[in-house]
A and B are shown apart, each in its own frame.
Chain A
């Protein structure tokens, strides 16, 4: 890529906005999924009996809604990212590309 083009894009406020927003959003969501998953793994590592505890008087244990909930949460979090990326980030990207005359 042309070095002049690189520095021009880098200097663009929109590019800086995109990089800042996307990086922050990406790491925020990464932190959330890490806490959720390693929180779950931590329960398995240190407190197995909590997950084995039955809910109410039935046999279904607490671990089942927690585990299935984590699966749903993972997919939902991914969808949250896509929703923002497909609108806001894509719009910014398009503007940057247009500005750069590409």
Chain B
């Protein structure tokens, strides 16, 4: 039946689509029940597998180092896969394929922006981070700076980024579970929260890393299969796929009441950048947030401390960017495949013409279109594990912000024992899990992609400027870094609230005070400017210590002499 629809629903036949949808809808509910059982079985198997990994890892998690950085024993290849796993989040997989499904080419702008941060990390930061750090980026920043203020900033900015990122993932997970199991949204979010707490609490970084690796491999294979199945229908000719997608979009626009010329233009529009970034400043600012945000994400930075040395850190970046780049090419094909196979199939459409289960579910429906119920179950289970693993990694870096930055250094003044620190980070994990469940429920209607870009903008405005200046500029002082970091994050937060997405859409005001899509261009300028100005004017005794310790920091960051080694099991 699906095949019949794909063939007959062309441009002209689109007009009768609503009637078909109404008729088909009754059928689908019956069918959906059967689908659910397959999906549930796949889910059960996958969750069981990841729990087994957690249990295995728990036996190996004895020290703080094990908990935060898997003992520093992860290889570059493994870490690259785990980083790719961290990065191929629900927002990437579901969000970007959905963006392509709706707007076509615009989705690729997201993909490229998410990817180009990696070379920056590689060329300027990765090796130095590995040589200087121990567990967190606060360790790096406090190498030559006064620990209390700089770690307070690290904890603040890490929690801010983690929280916004967490909300996005929780909302995505909730929608996915609701679609597949028909569970109420609140229960769906709670299940995600409880599982996430279990992974982090018992397994720590070892479990999180292995769950990421497992999931990255399965997601890459699943996405490859989908892309191949889509291309196979067009004799592996992308041109034929694009041509069909344009035809489908033209048909949809025509069915929506557009005149033939206008419908053709709308169909064509999916092949070029559209209305996603309207003005030049938004485009540049958004581009900056994506590029530099990557280099400031705490859960990504933390991954550089899980490898034994700078060489492995380098390898992990290369593997990570290779997998991520490959994945984004697949996502592009999947998005266009969804236009061709999902948008034309009434089985996947809601009565109002949108996608069943919400706009983010394009890739999930495509899985069913190309691989049937079993593959739908597989992709859903992988997508769910994706969210779980990303959420676990985020929670872990949030927990480290509290236990390692605030508890061990600021409160205990560096005299906390490993056991106490581990206890605090586990309590924090529990608290973060509960907060994430609450916020996930509270933000149900929020746009997932927007929340992620907000997290990126915050990371680009706080962590990234501070880290870059700490690593590379001798004149940078504690006061400068802390003032610039705080101001950058606060500017980003305030401008985000004043921007159209929150000020108009959420708060219901008439016009936005800040008219652009992303604050990064302005907040990054504030951060860098403040760090420079305050540092230059800083004449305090502490500033002299900060500057004079640069040489030692540089020797260690360049050569790795004195860097913390992997723990021995």
Q: Which A residues lie at the B interface, using CB under 8 A?
A: 1, 3, 5-7, 9-10, 15, 18-19, 22, 25-27, 29-30, 33, 37-38, 40-42, 44-46, 48-49, 51-54, 58-61, 63-64, 67-68, 70-72, 74-75, 77-79, 81-82, 85-86, 90, 93, 96-97, 100, 102
Contact = CB atoms under 8 A, between A and B. Distances in A.
Interface residues of B, number: 55
Nearest to A52: B272
Contacts of B321: 74-75, 78
A25 B108 CA distance: 29
A74 B314 contact: no
Interface in B523-569: 551-552, 554-556, 558-562
Contact of A49 (B272, B551, B560, B561): B272
B561 A18 contact: no
Contacts of B127: 85
7 contacts: A19-B554, A45-B280, A75-B321, A78-B317, A78-B321, A82-B318, A100-B561
B contact face: mostly helix, strand, loop, or mixed:
helix
Contacts of A49: 272
Pick from B274, B321, B554, B555 the residue with the most CB of A within 10 Å.
Answer: B555
Interface string B118-130: 1110111001000
Contact of A77 (B119, B283, B284): B119
A contact face: mostly helix, strand, loop, or mixed:
helix
Contact of A6 (B246, B314, B551): B551
A63 B271 contact: yes
A11 B311 CA distance: 24
Interface in B282-312: 283-284, 287, 291, 311
B158 to A, nearest CB: 25
Given A59-B242, A72-B325, A78 B119 contact: yes
B503 interface: no
Contacts, number: 163
Sort A-B residue pairs by CB-CB distance and give the 3 closest, nearest first: A52-B272, A45-B280, A45-B283
Contacts of B116: 33, 37, 70, 74
B287 A71 contact: no
Given A26-B124, A82-B318, 5 more contacts: A3-B552, A10-B551, A44-B273, A52-B269, A82-B317
B329 interface: yes
B554 A71 contact: no
B277 A44 contact: yes
Contacts of A26: 123-124
Pick from A3, A44, A82, A97 the residue with the most CB of B within 10 Å.
Answer: A44
A49 B118 CA distance: 29
A6 B105 CA distance: 52
A2 B315 CA distance: 30
A102 B563 CA distance: 12
Nearest to A7: B551
B165 to A, nearest CB: 22
B328 interface: yes
B49 interface: no
A92 to B, nearest CB: 9
Given A61-B272, A78-B318, A71 B561 contact: no
A5 B280 CA distance: 51
A81 B313 CA distance: 13
Contacts of A75: 318, 321-322, 325
Given A9-B561, A15-B559, A78-B118, A58 B105 contact: no
A29 B119 contact: yes
B325 A44 contact: no
B350 interface: no
A58 B118 CA distance: 33
Contacts of A18: 558-559
Contacts of A86: 311, 314
Interface in B457-488: none
Contact of A48 (B238, B272, B560): B272
B559 A9 contact: yes
Contact of A37 (B124, B291, B315, B325): B291
A1 B272 contact: no
Contact of A58 (B239, B279, B558): B239
B105 A71 contact: no
B268 A59 contact: yes
Contact of B558 (A22, A51, A102): A22
A40 B546 CA distance: 39
Contacts of A64: 105, 108, 238, 242, 271
Contacts of A15: 555, 558-559
Contacts of B268: 52, 59
A75 to B, nearest CB: 5
Nearest to A48: B273
B284 A45 contact: yes
Pick from B116, B243, B560 the residue with the most CB of A within 10 Å.
Answer: B116
B55 interface: no
Contact of B560 (A6, A37, A97): A97
A7 B548 CA distance: 12
B123 A60 contact: no
